[in-house]
Homo-oligomer: A and B are copies of this chain.
Amino acid sequence: MKKLSVTEKTKVKRLPKRAFYDFETISKILDDTFICHIGFVIDDQPFVIPTCYGRKEDKIYFHGSVGSRMLMHIKKDSGICLTVTNVDGIVLARSAFHHSINYRSVVIIGKAEEINKPDEKAETLKVITDHIISGRWDDVRKPNEKELKQTSVFSIKIDQASAKIREGGPVDEENDMNLNVWAGVLPLKIVSGNPVRDTVLKENIYLPDYIKNYK
């Protein structure tokens, strides 16, 4: 199992037993969703912006319009933090104090690198698209030269990274165990609903299996 080196920036200080630094745990969390929150700094002011991403091997790719404030800034100052959070449930304890959330999160610190070569750009857009909905790329009209020019693409290496996981039931104080309070976990998960056809979609086009069976 590949273990990342732990640095001052990535070391989990609070509840270190919830921390994981192995690539396998980290990449599994990253593959379970497609929205990250990217932190960057402009004139000492932090900003946090949600965006979608894709993972391939030890790289995370994200993209956006060349006019995006975030991406224009990252071109100049590439030091970012990219955080991914999966929420699994609400932990209901007998005391207010011991309430918690079951979650799996990853924090990646590093320098974002811009990808400029058109063919490499197209390749990373495939990674992002198929990360969000596996199988989609092969079906759609690929980006043309103009569209590639309108798109900025960046990567960040999964290198300075840590995962944090909280799972299981509530942990209450011994003194509280006899209280008449329901305790346990309310699981939460993201599910897909019925696909909504574009109102002007041609009639003879059927829903592809990769959308029907989306997980």
A181 in contact with B9 (CB, 8 Å)? no
| Cβ-based interface call for A26 (8 A) | no
| Cβ-based interface call for A157 (8 A) | no
A14 in contact with B67 (CB, 8 Å)? yes
| Cβ-based interface call for A1 (8 A) | no
Q: Annotate A166-197 by CB proximity to B: 1 below 8 A, 0 otherwise.
A: 00011000001111111111111111111111
How many copies of the shown chain assemble into the complex?
2
Q: Annotate A1-38 by CB proximity to B: 1 below 8 A, 0 otherwise.
A: 00000000100011000000000000000000001011
B186 in contact with A189 (CB, 8 Å)? no
B187 in contact with A190 (CB, 8 Å)? no
| Cβ-based interface call for A118 (8 A) | no
Given contacts A40-B46, A49-B107, A141-B95, contact A180 B202 (CB under 8 A): yes
CA distance A180 to B180 in the complex (A): 60
B45 in contact with A44 (CB, 8 Å)? no
Contacts of A200 in B (CB 8 A): 177
Contacts of A126 in B (CB 8 A): 96
| Cβ-based interface call for A155 (8 A) | no
Top 7 A-B pairs, shortest CB-CB distance:
A39-B46, A187-B193, A39-B48, A37-B37, A48-B83, A50-B85, A183-B198
